[in-house]
Amino acid sequence: MINNLGAIEDKNGNFTYAIQGTPGNSQSLFAPIGGRVLWNNGAVVDGNQVKVVLDQVNGLETEGTYIGTLSLPDLQVVGTPDKSYDKINCIMQDGEYNYIYYGESPGTFERYTKLARVKKGSLHSQIPWEYYSNDGTWSASKDNAKRLISGAVASHVMKLGEGSYVMNAVPNLSDEIVVWFATNPAGPWINRTVVYKTPAREAVLSYFGHIDAGSGKDGVYTFTYSSYPFIDDPFAMQLNDKGVYTIHYAKANLLELSPFQPKKQLDSLTSYSVVPLGRDVVLKWTTAQTGHDHFEVEESRDQYSWTTVATVAGGSGNSYRTTMKNPAPGMVYYRLKLYNADKEVTTLQTVKYNVAPNASFLAYDAVAVGNRVKITFRTSIELLNPGFVLGRSAVMSSDLSNWVKLADIEGAGTKNTYTDYEFYDENPLNGINYYAMVYWKDGKEAYTSLRTVDMTSIPGITKTNTATVTTFDVYPNPSKGKVQFALKGYTGGDITVTLSDLFGKTIGKETFKVNSTETYILQARPSAGTYVVNVTGTGLSKSAKVILQ
């Protein structure tokens, strides 16, 4: 806000103004309340809106303070002004708070500046303020509010940089434009300095001193102040001399005057994300500042041991990215080290990402094609999927020693559409061939169900002797209520099956005749839990755990 004008300056130096009415038919930006005009007294961007401090003026007196709202970026008036919680002389936003400076006038010529605060997004009448007290604490009561400076009420406070603040005021009945300095919004405010003396004119006094927030190049700031004839009938003087009631300008190098040089502001991240891309993950980040020398990306799996995994060149921009190739499954942490132009390092925040490869199957089949076996499958979605492992066995068994790896099949990485796969087993076994695949499901290895192809007596296929192989497999596992198992290749006598709990207590014991299907179901129906199935027979001793749901 520039005195009574609202404007936005874009990155190209173009201005957008907030005005009402048309030439010859001017109107108030904020309509008068109770017949009293509303006078702009500063603004802040709060909650993606512009909150404007409005003084309700009656002649030379202020009767109340209101908060008006303008939308961004078009500066349209939103609703009607809201009554302020208390009086506001000027406002400054810093960190998570709006700092509100207000005046105390216990006597005709006495002036003091005091301070309150309220969190961002809470600048309206229903949210109480906190007041800065004499003991250096913040209180809900203003009774013990500290006097920050005497002789003037602050008309403008701004931040010159980290740890450096300036307050501007025109002392009562004075021709001075004065500043004070502090390391924080509450002070102590010291080094009272007169930056400009207004030209002496009888009965004309200065007021409303402001620092132009858009200035400040090389530390030089522009001040504006207004003058007004404080006499019984000021209008005749204003008509005769247009320089009486107008805005004046002055300049001062506040960085040279301040005893508190701004600390070099540490850079920070304005955004930081990890996204999947194919089989890789991409780190993207933007910084608040520019002119970096380089970045280092560190990786950790436990947040204790860190390894540098990438170096990214800096430059004049503030948007960067780098790719992590084929990250291992599991939770991974990435953090950034920023090196500025002087190669000073700042360690920035950490982002975590769960590398969870996944493939969702829609179809999976195996069929004989001549003396070959064709394996086909389709996925609907894949995430960071490195691929599949296809295995084959001559017997139906969960014992990995009975399986051979046929192929590593490359996955699609990250894809949200169907993907079709095809593989030929060029040398299937004579007899029944069992096929299964190892794949990734939510970051863990999983197994498909079995597919079988009988290649018995197919010309050109060598017969495989599997008679000596005895396999034991409990399935399904977990199971809903019943215990079922397969015992393949066993040529001995009757088998005895004992079902026990994990503490060795026998739940049931049954004897089976060997059958041609080589599958068996226990009569026992124990409650849900984990059990151990033990099978014994001629030269046979097998066991496995089973989970009943």
One domain, residues 252 and 166: yes
Q: Would residue 109 count as lying in a domain? A: yes
Q: Would residue 379 count as lying in a domain? A: yes
Q: Would residue 459 count as lying in a domain? A: no
207 beta partners: 226
- How far apart CA 348 and CA 422 sit, in angstroms, is 46
One domain, residues 165 and 248: yes
One domain, residues 277 and 311: yes
Write the CA distances from 142 to 115, 122, 133, 198, integer angstroms.
Answer: 9, 18, 8, 34
Q: Would residue 191 count as lying in a domain? A: yes
One domain, residues 78 and 93: no
Q: Would residue 465 count as lying in a domain? A: no
Q: Would residue 16 count as lying in a domain? A: yes
- CATH number at 305 reads 2.60.40.10
The answer for residues whose C-beta is within 8 angstroms of residue 361's C-beta and 6 or more apart is 377, 378, 379, 380, 439, 448
Q: Would residue 466 count as lying in a domain? A: no
- How far apart CA 412 and CA 137 sit, in angstroms, is 60
Among candidate residues 465, 484, 473, 477, the one with its CA nearest the CA of residue 524? 484
Last residue of one domain, picked from the residues 127, 152, 177 = 152
Q: Would residue 461 count as lying in a domain? A: no
Last residue of one domain, picked from the residues 25, 54, 84 = 84
Contact between 277 and 321 (Cβ < 8 Å): no
One domain, residues 374 and 392: yes
One domain, residues 248 and 348: no
Residue 95: give the domain boundaries.
85-152
Contact between 546 and 508 (Cβ < 8 Å): no
pLDDT one digit per residue (tens) for the chain, 549 residues: 444 566 666 666 677 777 777 777 877 888 888 888 888 888 888 877 889 998 888 776 778 889 989 888 888 889 889 888 888 989 999 988 999 999 998 887 789 999 999 998 888 778 899 999 999 999 999 999 999 999 999 888 999 988 999 999 988 777 888 999 999 999 899 999 998 888 877 777 777 777 876 777 888 998 887 777 777 777 777 777 777 777 778 899 999 999 998 877 677 888 899 999 988 999 999 998 888 899 999 999 988 889 999 999 998 888 999 999 988 889 999 999 999 888 888 888 889 999 999 999 988 999 999 899 999 999 999 999 999 999 999 888 777 777 888 999 999 999 999 999 999 999 898 888 999 999 999 988 888 888 999 988 777 665 544 444 678 888 888 888 889 998 888 888 899 999 888 767 888 999 999 888 889 998 888 888 888 888 988 878 888 888 888
Among candidate residues 45, 66, 44, 71, the one with its CA nearest the CA of residue 54? 66
Taking residue 148's Cβ as centre, other Cβ atoms within 10 Å add up to: 21
Write the CA distances from 373 to 145, 393, 420, 431, 459, integer angstroms.
Answer: 87, 13, 17, 12, 13
One domain, residues 19 and 80: yes
One domain, residues 334 and 368: no
One domain, residues 161 and 252: yes
One domain, residues 364 and 426: yes
One domain, residues 186 and 246: yes
Structural domains counted in the chain: 6
Last residue of one domain, picked from the residues 152, 180, 199 = 152
